[in-house]
Structures are given as C-alpha cells and as structure tokens.
C-alpha cells in the first residue's frame, strides 16, 4: 500500500511540475554522470548556485541567484578541494540575468576563455553542475555532474524568455538541466580546452521547471561589458 501511495504522489508531483511557471527555475543535471575531468574554472557558490571563473578575480553567474559570500573554485566536490575565494561585491548588467562577482584576492585556478561568437546549431555542448539528478523527485550528489547535449537555434528557447543572441541547449525528461545549477556554465570544446558560451538562466520553454530545453544567457553578446568590469 505504501508503494502505491508513493507512486500516486510521484505522479501528482510530475503533473504539478509541468504546470509551474518557469521563471524561478535553477537548473542542474539530469541524466549525466560524474565529471570526467577537473574544470579549473568551475565555481560552487555558497548560495547553492554555480559560476565560472573568467579572470583571476571575477566570476560570471546569474543575477537571480542573489548574493554569495564565497565560492569553491576548481573542484569536482562541492564540499572540499580546490580553493575557496571570498566574494566582496557583485555587479549586474541592467536588464539581464548576468551578474559578475568579485573575489577579494586573485584565484590561482585557470579561468575559462569566453566565446566571441555563439556556437552554431548542432554543436555539441557540455553542461556541468551539482544538484538534482532526477525530477520531480530530486536526488543530489556532492560530485560534479556533466552531460553532453546539443546547441539548438536560439528561437527554440524563445518561450523561456530567450533572445536571438542567447544560447539554447537541447533536453528532454531524462537528459536536461534542472534545479540547483543556475549561473553555471555551458561550454564547448574538448578535454582540457573549453570555451564558455553560456550562463545558466532557466528552462527554454514553458512546459515545466526541469527536464526540458535550457536557456543560457549568451556570453558573446555581453563580452564587451564583461571585459569592462574585469578592466
């Protein structure tokens, strides 16, 4: 009887999830696996979001993540390893979900290069982060997760609020970003040689909070502003 009740509750939760507006989602990785390498630029923020080290003292993340006091940089475990940097201020580009967080001292880790142009549709892209590995029943891991999906035409994420210069990533109910990875990266390249193309913003459509396409704020369109903050 207990199993039957749990099954019914799970089904109801799935229906509710599909009806929830997508505006507050914080994506992470469904259907991925443990990280196969150490990403020197990957940041686990103290507020539960992800981020990318783009210069020794600057992290790119999402505005809707809010503030964070510190970030663990360059570890595949969100609770240990790497180096921990203290954050003393944040700057948000008006009208966007793009925020930069400043470290009080320079990190030793190697920052990720940033894209000057968006990858074309069909390009393989890797999503990395910590958090829900299933939805709507959320299970998490302290070990960094990764998944390789495909870049779609930007218009495929228009329903989630994406513009023509944002990056849209494929996904379905068993392969997707989900709660917990807002602000984290979408990257293209090969092992040890990655380029940051997007910052996790939220679902790419209005069919649910997770298990869908994922909208990433395009880095290329904001590169001039980002470099101005870095100085």
pLDDT of 230 strictly over 70 = yes
132-135 contacts, C-beta under 8 A, 24 or more apart = 132/28, 132/29, 132/30, 132/178, 132/179, 132/180, 132/210, 133/28, 133/29, 133/30, 133/31, 133/32, 133/178, 134/30, 135/17, 135/30, 135/173, 135/176, 135/178, 135/179, 135/209, 135/210, 135/211
Q: Given this structure, which CATH class describes domain 22-35+113-220? A: mainly beta
* Segment among 15-24, 49-58, 138-147, 157-166 with least mean pLDDT: 15-24
Q: Supply the pTM of this predicted model.
A: 0.85
| CATH, range 42-111+223-230 | 2.40.10.10
**Span 23-44, average pLDDT:** 78
Share of the chain above pLDDT 90, in %: 70
In this predicted model, which residue has the larger pLDDT, 12 or 69? 69
pLDDT category at 210 given cuts 50, 70, 90 is: confident
**Span 13-30, average pLDDT:** 40
Q: For the chain, give every domain's residue range.
A: 22-35+113-220, 42-111+223-230
């Amino acid at each position: 009887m207990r199993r039957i009740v749990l099954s019914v509750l799970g089904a109801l939760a799935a229906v509710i999830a599909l009806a929830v507006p997508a505006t507050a989602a914080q994506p992470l990785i469904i259907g991925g696996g443990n990280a196969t390498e150490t990403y020197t630029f990957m940041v686990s923020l103290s507020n539960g979001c992800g981020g990318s080290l783009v210069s020794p003292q600057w992290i790119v993340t999402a505005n809707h993540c809010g503030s964070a006091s510190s970030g663990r940089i360059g570890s595949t475990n969100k609770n240990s390893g790497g180096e921990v940097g203290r954050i003393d201020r944040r700057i948000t580009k008006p009208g966007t979900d793009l925020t930069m967080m400043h470290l009080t001292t320079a990190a030793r880790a190697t920052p990720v290069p940033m894209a000057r142009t968006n990858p074309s549709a069909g390009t393989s892209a890797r999503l990395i982060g910590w958090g829900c590995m299933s939805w709507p029943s959320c299970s998490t891991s302290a070990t960094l997760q990764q998944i390789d999906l495909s870049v779609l035409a930007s218009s495929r994420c228009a329903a989630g609020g994406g513009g023509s210069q944002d990056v849209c990533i494929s996904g379905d109910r068993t392969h997707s970003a989900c709660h917990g990875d807002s602000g984290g990266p979408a990257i293209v390249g090969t092992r040890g040689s990655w380029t940051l193309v997007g910052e996790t913003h939220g679902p790419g459509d209005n069919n649910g909070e997770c298990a869908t396409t994922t909208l990433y704020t395009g880095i290329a369109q904001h590169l001039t502003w980002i470099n101005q903050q870095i100085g």
